[in-house]
Amino acid sequence: EQSVVSAIETVLATSGKTVFFSACTVALSLTGTFFFHEYYIYSMGLAMILVVFFAALSSLTILPAILISLDHRIFWMSTESFVNWIRNRMRLSRGSVSTAELRTQDKHHPDTLSNGLWYRASMFCMKYAIPLCALIAAGLAGLLYVFVSEAEFGSPSAIILPKSSKSRHAFETAQNEFTSAGKSNLKVYLHTVE
């Protein structure tokens, strides 16, 4: 049976590269937000790149350390283990099983792990990889179409508010009544007393 440390080393040597290159790809794609001239889009893109960077960093450093420290106790956090724990407590209270018998039952033996939810989900995804990819691509294309057909870009101002808004009304009044505001130079002379 493989130890947890050697399993983590194998995972980092294989899937760790995938996590690293996926994070680099996502961060590189988010640099497209730097071409927008709106400051808030630029800053959101920078924030998302930092989030991707720290998520990849924690996945490659902190998560393996947590998994190594938990050892085989990680299986205690599964829903199946919790249900089994409740079932065993009920069996103990009825007296149908002893504490010694419960201790000898190993619910987390490697042979029984192939019945878990994550194992079945990963096997399903690998078995139907192409149809699932096509379905996901079609869903993303639909979302992209809705975004492209409905999106309107503009600078943030009071114009985006509803016409009934007092702030928009004040903004439009100021624009209509004071058309030269901000366009003419105003010179102020100050004399200081020495």
Quote the pLDDT of residue 28. Answer: 94
For the cut 70, the answer to whether the pLDDT of residue 60 exceeds it is yes
Nearest to 108 by CA among 67, 70, 76, 64: 76
User: Average pLDDT, stretch 59-64?
Assistant: 92
- Tell me which of 92-96, 110-114, 144-148 is least confident: 110-114
Unique residue bearing structure tokens 């009071």? 158
Contact 56, 23 (CB under 8 A): yes
Distances in Å between the Cα of 92 and the Cα atoms of 57, 78, 84, 85, 126 are 45, 21, 12, 10, 40
User: How many Cβ atoms from other residues are within 10 Å of residue 33's Cβ?
Assistant: 17
DSSP string across 144-161: HHHHHHH------SGGGS
User: How many Cβ atoms from other residues are within 10 Å of residue 95's Cβ?
Assistant: 7
Q: What is the mean pLDDT of the chain?
A: 81
- Give the list of residues 6+ apart from residue 44 with CB closer than 8 angstroms, or none: 33
Put simply, whether the predicted model's pTM sits higher than 0.85 gets the answer: no
Contact 171, 180 (CB under 8 A): no
